[in-house]
Amino acid sequence: MNTLIKKEFNSIVGDSRFRDRLEDLLSYSYDAFTVESVPDLVLLPVSTAEISAILKVASEHQIPVTARGAGSSICGAPVPVNGGIVLSMTMMNRILETNTPDRYCIVQPGVINGDLQAELAKSAFFYPPDPGSMAFSTIGGNLAQNAGGPRCLKYGVTSDYVLGMEVVLASGDVIRFGSRNVKDVTGYRLSGLFCGSEGTLGVVTEITLKVVPLPEAYRTVLAVFNDLDDSAATVSDIIGAGILPAALELLDKVLINTVEDANNIGLPREAEGLLLIEVDGSEEQVEKELALIVEKVLSNNAVDIQQARTAEERDNLWQARRSLYPSMARLKPNCIVEDATVPTSKVPEMIRGIRAIIDKYKLLCGIAAHAGDGNMHPLIACDLRDHDEMERVEKAIEEIFELAMANNGTLSGEHGIGIAKRKYLSMAIDKPTLKFMHTLKQAVDPHGILNPGKAI
Ligand SMILES: Cc1cc2nc3c(=O)[nH]c(=O)nc-3n(C[C@H](O)[C@H](O)[C@H](O)COP(=O)(O)OP(=O)(O)OC[C@H]3O[C@@H](n4cnc5c(N)ncnc54)[C@H](O)[C@@H]3O)c2cc1C
């Protein structure tokens, strides 16, 4: 990028929020996937007006612009593969309004999910989407990836909570859609288009989110199995019985032991499978659902059921779940998390199939799943420098996706496509539909400057 153009950008944000030294740029060249690419410039805007001005200049010179939240994506989504500008949204991190009588809050995109949760905890309301990265990922990044998490089984994913948005388009034009109303069918539902678009259609600068009342009570149990198949079968038995837990998470033996090695919290090392199950609602409802769940768990040969008796015990169990990725990442230089998703009834078949693929390719891989909604997370510890191993990883991933598709599944339940899964898109989306997506992209971003090379 030439000096004159850089000066134009500098005049918008000023020296203190302008970065072009290599040592600064490197920090914005990667996410939690395996691909790196250094941008030419990093800008840290603080307002919609600044972002609009930046995009006008970028559009004029056809310079790629990639918005970035916390950089925690697992699919390469915020990596600036064509260089250009990284727009770090972290300084736009204010919670602008919480309005519980009207059940909404308004936030800037750089607000950390966990900070919003903490603010809402002062009221009788909460914001359900709870990605494992909630302590550091941003609401803007959650929206752009349509993030999910354990609670999404019962409560739905990010897009189910977006009431309205302000977005700066590639041209620099600012559009606002949706409203503060939980019911609103005025015009096209554009929020559905922008959720999951990975920053390829516009830069989101303000988000209105729905919030919901906190449940009165929780019950959290850990069910221990000596056979992974039994734990998987329990999942569809519970859902099939008409019980929708707040969360229903599965861990295999590799992960039980890896998490235990890293955290030492007393998980049963000898178990082949664990289910972490949480129900919420009124006292009466949680007791009733818990009794039914225990029945299903025992009829599928569980060898032990442990119930969290205190808030601290509940937190410990959830901490174990949230530490899967960092625990697994300790084993080798790299860790690839896959995200294929199938209908709940196919979970047992999928788990057996993934295990067989892992064994076939002799990989170090643990299987976790948001099992209640069929969202599989094989976590493969690997070393990018080991070409033979990476070839086996690639083959295994392709076969896992083929298996998911053969079971009426999909490529991604929550992590998105980014760079990681683009080459597999045709397995899940037919040609006319992909063409329609490209037509949409072309219409809103004719020069293709917004996060090129991602999502579609
Ligand atoms: C340990 C760990 C656990 C995780 N657990 C989960 C999980 O349980 N569920 C889940 O869904 N994901 C999970 N993730 C993945 C990741 O945290 C999510 O995808 C998250 O939503 C990314 O948010 P971010 O702020 O880090 O965004 P980034 O990674 O910085 O960006 C993600 C995408 O959003 C775009 N973007 C960011 N801000 C904007 C904006 N304002 N306007 C337009 N586009 C924007 C970027 O261009 C990029 O395409 C996990 C990741 C890690 C490392």
Mutate to test the pocket of ligand 1, among 72, 159, 327 (most ligand atoms within 8 A of CB): 72
Is 194 within a domain?
A: yes
Q: How far apart are the first and last CA of the chain?
A: 26
- Asked if residues 82 and 64 have their Cβ atoms less than 8 Å apart, the reply is yes
Closest atom of ligand 1 to 137 CA is: 25
Q: Are residues 233 and 375 in the same domain?
A: yes
Distance 111 CA to ligand 1 centre (A): 12
Distance 142 CA to ligand 1 centre (A): 5
The pLDDT score that the predictor gives to residue 182 is 93
The pLDDT score that the predictor gives to residue 377 is 96
Q: Are residues 267 and 396 in the same domain?
A: yes
SS (H, E, C) 1-27: CCHHHHHHHHHHHCHHHEECCHHHHHH
Which CATH number does the domain housing residue 24 bear?
3.30.43.10
Q: Is 69 a pocket residue for ligand 1 (Cβ < 6 Å)?
A: yes
Would you state the structure tokens that stand for residue 298, as one six-digit string?
Answer: 């025992």
Mean pLDDT of 42-55: 98
Q: Are residues 226 and 358 in the same domain?
A: yes
* C-alpha neighbours within 13 Å on the C-beta side of residue 285: 14
Mean pLDDT of 320-345: 93
Closest atom of ligand 1 to 139 CA is: 25
Q: Are residues 200 and 244 in the same domain?
A: no
The helix-helix angle for 347-360 and 387-406 (nearest 10°) equals 160
Whole-angstrom Cα distance, residue 251 to residue 274? Answer: 5
Gyration radius of the chain over CA positions: 22
- Domain termination site, one of 167, 190, 213: 213
The residues pairing with 317 across neighbouring beta strands, listed in sequence order, are: none
- Domain termination site, one of 88, 113, 147: 88
Closest atom of ligand 1 to 72 CA is: 26
Give how many domains the chain has, as a whole number: 3
Q: Are residues 82 and 101 in the same domain?
A: no
The residues pairing with 218 across neighbouring beta strands, listed in sequence order, are: 280
Q: What is the DSSP string of 389-449?
A: HHHHHHHHHHHHHHHHHHTT-BS-SSS--TTTTGGGHHHHS-HHHHHHHHHHHHHH-TT--
Is 436 within a domain?
A: no
Q: Is 420 a pocket residue for ligand 1 (Cβ < 6 Å)?
A: no
Mean pLDDT of 82-99: 98
- Asked if residues 141 and 70 have their Cβ atoms less than 8 Å apart, the reply is yes
Which CATH number does the domain housing residue 103 bear?
3.30.465.10
- pLDDT band for position 35 (50/70/90)? very high
Whole-angstrom Cα distance, residue 68 to residue 443? Answer: 23
The residues pairing with 381 across neighbouring beta strands, listed in sequence order, are: 335, 364
Is 421 within a domain?
A: no
Percent of the chain with pLDDT over 70: 100
Does the pLDDT value for residue 316 go beyond 90? no
Q: Which domain holds residue 140?
A: 95-213
**What are the phi and psi torsion angles at 186 (to 5°)?**
-95, 105
Q: Are residues 27 and 138 in the same domain?
A: no
Percent of the chain with pLDDT over 90: 97
Q: Is 414 a pocket residue for ligand 1 (Cβ < 6 Å)?
A: yes
Does the pLDDT value for residue 319 go beyond 90? no
The pLDDT score that the predictor gives to residue 332 is 96
Would you state the structure tokens that stand for residue 74, as one six-digit string?
Answer: 């697992």
- Asked if residues 366 and 252 have their Cβ atoms less than 8 Å apart, the reply is yes
Q: Are residues 353 and 255 in the same domain?
A: yes
Is 139 within a domain?
A: yes
pLDDT, tens digit (0-9, with 9 covering 90-100), for 406-453 = 999 999 999 999 999 999 999 999 999 999 999 999 999 999 999 999
Q: Are residues 367 and 301 in the same domain?
A: yes
Q: Is 149 a pocket residue for ligand 1 (Cβ < 6 Å)?
A: yes
- pLDDT band for position 320 (50/70/90)? confident
Does the pLDDT value for residue 225 go beyond 90? yes
Q: Are residues 16 and 131 in the same domain?
A: no
Sign of CA dihedral 44, 49, 54, 58: positive
